């Protein structure tokens, strides 16, 4: 038996040639002190630098009396992150359970975290029931100087729930800037 020409496999189409696509990098234009260089088209604005979470670099000059506002603190200027994290997690869970006023969290949280706690709904496992809340060991990771990420497991009524927070050193004390209660 011979195969008919119609049943033979059709030749594969030739692959399309590769082409180079130039993608602009999301970096600010390079600046040289000797010769000003402009790498941006005249009609376009310069791209914004990438967001880098964490504390901002501290200024090299000495602080003057007329400086004001919050100042980032180095790790050496801050208390123990594990104790601060345990205190934050315990206070937060007690406030969500209705055992202490939410206003007590205001000094140790950022405005955004406090607004979310005040206006958000409370986790059902935290708000309902009378069994005690038990916070397990607090784990601390310090990815950058002046920043601590703390996690713990809270138990209530035989169930475990994860709690995570980001603490940043501001004005010589830890302040919670992100909080997740699972």
How does pLDDT run across 20-71, given as a tens digit for each residue?
Answer: 777 676 666 555 554 444 444 555 555 555 655 666 656 555 555 556 778 8
Q: With a threshold of 0.75, does the pTM exceed it?
A: no
Tallying the residues shown for the chain, one arrives at 182
Helices (H), the chain: 81-96, 111-119, 124-127
Supply the pLDDT for residue 39.
47
Alpha-carbon dihedral angle through residues 144, 149, 150, 153, given to the nearest 10 degrees: -140
Position 40 scores a pLDDT of 46
In this prediction, residue 49 carries a pLDDT of 58
Would you call 122 helix, strand, or coil by DSSP?
coil
How is the chain split into domains, by residue range? 75-181
**H helices, E strands: number in the chain:** 3, 5
Half-sphere exposure of 109 (CA within 13 A, CB side): 22
With a cut of 70, list the residues of the chain below it in pLDDT.
1-10, 23, 25-67
Domain at 75-181, CATH class: alpha beta
Q: Which residues contact 75 (CB under 8 A, 6 or more apart)?
A: 142, 145, 146, 169
């Amino acid at each position: 038996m011979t195969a008919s020409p119609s049943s033979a496999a059709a030749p594969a189409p030739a692959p399309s040639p590769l082409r180079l696509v130039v993608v602009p990098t999301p970096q600010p234009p390079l600046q040289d002190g000797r010769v000003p260089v402009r790498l941006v088209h005249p009609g376009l604005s310069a791209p914004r630098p990438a967001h880098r979470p964490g504390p901002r670099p501290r200024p090299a000059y000495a602080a003057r009396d007329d400086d004001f506002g919050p100042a980032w603190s180095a790790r050496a200027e801050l208390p123990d992150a594990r104790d601060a994290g345990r205190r934050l997690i315990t206070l937060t869970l007690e406030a969500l359970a209705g055992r202490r006023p939410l206003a007590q969290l205001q000094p140790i949280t950022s405005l955004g975290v406090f607004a979310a706690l005040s206006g958000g709904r409370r986790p059902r496992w935290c708000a309902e029931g009378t069994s005690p809340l038990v916070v397990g060991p607090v784990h601390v990771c310090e990815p950058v100087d002046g920043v601590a990420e703390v996690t713990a497991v809270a138990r209530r009524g035989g169930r475990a729930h994860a709690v995570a927070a980001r603490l940043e050193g501001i004005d010589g004390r830890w302040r919670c800037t992100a909080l997740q209660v699972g």
